[in-house]
Amino acid sequence: MINTIILLFGMIHVCFSLKKNPVLKFGGSSLANIKRLKNVGDIISDISINDQLPVVVLSAIGSTTNKLLEASYSALNDDDISKSLSIVNGVKSNHYLIFNFIKDNSKNNLKSNKIKFERDTLIAKRDIDEYFTNLINILKGIHLLNELSPVVIDNVSSFGERLSVRLFAYLINNMCLEDSEIEAEFYDSWDLGLKADGCHNDSKFIEDDYVKDTVKMNIESIIKRNKIPIVTGFICKNLDGKITTLGRGGSDLTATFIGECCGSREIQVWKDVNGLMTADPKVVKDAKPLSKLSYEQASELAYFGAKILHPISMLPAKKTEIPVIIKNSYNVTNEGTFISNELNNDIDKEYIVAMTSKKDITLIDIVSTRMLEQTGFLSKVFKIFEEDNISIDVIATSEISISLTLDNKNIISKNAIDKLNKISCVRVKKDYSILSFIVNIDKSNEVLSKILYILSKNGINAEMISQGASKVNISIVIHSKDVDKALNLVHNNFF
């Protein structure tokens, strides 16, 4: 009897620990205007009331991040600051338009919770006022000092997410959840215990157990109070207390990392398209939606240019095997793309699962001057890249030569080229692109030969070919002018 009870408790415990609250992430285009914001508010209210309280991660509203960066560069480069200020004033009026709409249309205004509504309104207005005052002061500082460091860029871009969570919590509490017991609370990521490391504009979360446990504890205690945490994506603070960002599109990473910390049952990434597709529909008209992908396939796609996911955002999900579902906030009933451990590798399906391209690539050919059997050549070359702090994308080697690519974030210095020239002949070639194909592993050799045949028949030269060890990905470097044509030719042939 006692054993049965213990077993039962065990099972109940497992059921609960398997069903941890989902993380929902919404990108800028899902938050582009009041109609979209209200739509997102309804999606969250629906899940909160009918299912479990989610943890919500938000990007900046619409194209706010682009505008903030534009304003910063204009403050730095233009003769007077008026253009920079007018860009920020555009962002400001957009945020006030939303604020005023909520204030004027909330039903709470008329009801018994009028006092709470007035308090919320006061807090939202106070924060928006303060943020824009600070932002304008920083832009004036950039202009006066004629200086824009990565630290300042991160600080300026952080305002987008800080504003969006505040405005959104105001909206959902007063336009979507006004009749419910549930309430949303906004948080800057650092207030939940998240910490970042590494360089500005491209930092990473610190992943130690202390950080993860703190984040989990904080979020659990918020949810226990029946509140929905609305958290800033993309931004964090480093150990010096300075604001950093995780690289463009970094809210995806915030969402999956929080999912990892909390052991969430799933991570929903809400975008403005029906999930991932076989190719970028802007380039290939006949691109088709993908119903499922593995973490690895999705990572390769993201890394090699599919703009839809942050390049390293799949890692936390993969580590903890939490499924990631890419959904369309403009088309809620669409199933989207389900990303898990399972490969999309249907035998009777296409040989290629998906394709993408990464532009603005530098191709470097390095040929040893000593010819065959020179030991240590590869390691000498890699050491030079390491010393120059350069990360290499795709690589193909033989005993005496190396071809490799660098993306536009990794620019090789003259000093490194000089060092390479001492041991080899170096050629640096610009205007290249990487075509990447996520392929059915069992067919990868056939696929490669077929692609090369298609390219050569159409006069497109493959400068370099590389297949990752996992064989999930085949990368081919071609001249940038041929990229769109090549993608269409290959897609038409395989799909």
Which residues contribute to the site for ligand ASP (CB under 6 A)?
A: 27-28, 59-60, 65, 160, 233-234, 248-251
Measured from the CB atom, the residue of 28 and 41 that comes closer to ligand ASP is: 28
CB 245 to ligand ASP: min, Å: 8
Write out the binding residues for Mg ion, residues 179-238 only, by CB under 5 A. none
Q: CA–CA distance from 231 to each of 25, 45, 358 (Å)? A: 9, 16, 31
CB 224 to ligand ASP: min, Å: 28
CB 474 to Mg ion: min, Å: 30
Distance from the Cα of residue 52 to its chain's centroid: 25
Measured from the CB atom, the residue of 317 and 366 that comes closer to ligand ASP is: 317
Token pair recorded at residue 265: 């049952």
CB 317, CB 256: distance < 8 Å: yes
- Is 275 a binder of Mg ion (CB under 5 A)? no
Measured from the CB atom, the residue of 242 and 248 that comes closer to ligand ASP is: 248
- Is 62 a binder of Mg ion (CB under 5 A)? no
Measured from the CB atom, the residue of 65 and 444 that comes closer to ligand ASP is: 65
Measured from the CB atom, the residue of 22 and 28 that comes closer to Mg ion is: 28
Q: How far is residue 271's CA from residue 273's CA, in Å, rounded to a whole number?
A: 6
CB 31 to Mg ion: min, Å: 9
CB 492 to Mg ion: min, Å: 32
Q: 279-304 burial by CB neighbour count: b if 16+ within 10 A, else e?
A: bbeebbeebebbebbbbbbbbbbbbb
Number of residues near Mg ion (by CB under 5 A): 3
Q: Which does 232 bind (CB under 5 to 8 A by kind): Mg ion, ligand ASP, none?
A: none
- Is 250 a binder of Mg ion (CB under 5 A)? no
Measured from the CB atom, the residue of 54 and 250 that comes closer to ligand ASP is: 250
Q: Where are the alpha helices (DSSP H) in 78-149?
A: 82-105, 114-145
DSSP codes of every residue in 205-237: E---HHHHHHHHHHHHHHHHTTEEEEEE-SEEE
CB 462 to ligand ASP: min, Å: 32
Q: How far is residue 69's CA from residue 150's CA, in Å, rounded to a whole number?
A: 11
Measured from the CB atom, the residue of 59 and 74 that comes closer to Mg ion is: 59
Token pair recorded at residue 220: 């659990």
The SS3 of residue 33 is coil
Cβ-in-10-Å burial (0-12, 13-18, 19+) of 229 comes to buried
Measured from the CB atom, the residue of 28 and 323 that comes closer to Mg ion is: 28
Token pair recorded at residue 363: 């191709």
Residue nearest to ligand ASP (CB): 251
Token pair recorded at residue 80: 């007077």
Q: How far is residue 169's CA from residue 58's CA, in Å, rounded to a whole number?
A: 11
As a dihedral over the C-alpha atoms of residue 148, residue 152, residue 157, residue 161, rounded to 10 degrees, the angle is -170
Those residues with Cβ within 8 angstroms of residue 210's Cβ, 6 or more apart along the chain or in another chain? none
Cross-strand bridge partners of residue 355:
437
Measured from the CB atom, the residue of 27 and 229 that comes closer to Mg ion is: 27
CB 420, CB 384: distance < 8 Å: yes
CB 291 to ligand ASP: min, Å: 24
Cross-strand bridge partners of residue 269:
25, 326
CB 215, CB 229: distance < 8 Å: no
CB 234 to Mg ion: min, Å: 7
Helix axes 64-77, 82-105, angle to 10 degrees: 150
Q: Which does 340 bind (CB under 5 to 8 A by kind): ligand ASP, Mg ion, none?
A: none
CB 28 to ligand ASP: min, Å: 5
Q: Which does 250 bind (CB under 5 to 8 A by kind): ligand ASP, Mg ion, none?
A: ligand ASP
Q: Which of 59, 174, 313, 440 binds Mg ion (CB under 5 A)?
A: 59
Q: Which does 377 bind (CB under 5 to 8 A by kind): Mg ion, ligand ASP, none?
A: none
The SS3 of residue 409 is coil
Measured from the CB atom, the residue of 27 and 275 that comes closer to ligand ASP is: 27
- Is 28 a binder of Mg ion (CB under 5 A)? yes
CB 113 to ligand ASP: min, Å: 32
Q: How far is residue 221's CA from residue 303's CA, in Å, rounded to a whole number?
A: 35
Measured from the CB atom, the residue of 63 and 109 that comes closer to ligand ASP is: 63
Q: Which does 234 bind (CB under 5 to 8 A by kind): ligand ASP, Mg ion, none?
A: ligand ASP
Q: Which does 233 bind (CB under 5 to 8 A by kind): Mg ion, ligand ASP, none?
A: ligand ASP
CB 28 to Mg ion: min, Å: 3
Q: Which does 385 bind (CB under 5 to 8 A by kind): ligand ASP, Mg ion, none?
A: none
The SS3 of residue 373 is coil
Q: Which does 99 bind (CB under 5 to 8 A by kind): ligand ASP, Mg ion, none?
A: none
> Contact positions toward Mg ion, by CB under 5 A?
28, 59, 65
